[in-house]
Amino acid sequence: MTLKSLIYKYDSEQIVKRLIELYPDQEPEGYFDVLRELLHLPSKKSNLKILVEELGDVYDKKDYVHVSGKDKKGVIWAIEFIDWKEWLEMEFTQDSLDYFSELDLVCHCLWEMTFCGYSNREVKKETFKLFNMIREYTK
């Protein structure tokens, strides 16, 4: 099951309502724009699967949901800077599907995807800035 298939399965109102329940500090308007963009964006093959898991933080003793990518070798990757076209074609790990509802999986992914902006273009700009900072630092 891919992120794209789950986004198409649920109504935008359902998704945003649940996202705000999970992340009450978020503004719903931005997520309606994100969903509109995702529904019209072409998708692109990915070699990663989406891993959504609940983890405990040893410092503040709280649980939180962590979204990452998992490759075929089992290596875990940060994916907040990945092009949204690729996110759409990512399948979920079986553990993620077993632990979370489909609607919650969509919401956790949307929260992670928008960490750097509320459009694919904004995320690409932030990625470009990051690469430039790394390039400058490593000269």
55 phi, psi to nearest 5 deg: -125, 155
Domain boundaries of the chain, sorted by first residue: 3-137
pTM over 0.85: yes
Provide the H-helix boundaries in 53-114: 84-89, 94-99, 102-113
Sign of CA dihedral 80, 81, 87, 92: negative
The label of the residue with tokens 């992340």 reads 23
CB-facing half-sphere around the CA of 53: CA atoms within 13 A: 13
Cβ-contact 46, 94 below 8 angstroms: no
Q: What is the pLDDT of residues 22-39, one digit of tens each?
A: 999 999 999 999 999 999
Q: What is the pLDDT of residues 47-82, one digit of tens each?
A: 999 999 999 888 888 889 999 999 999 999 999 999
Say yes or no to pLDDT of 131 above 70.
Answer: no
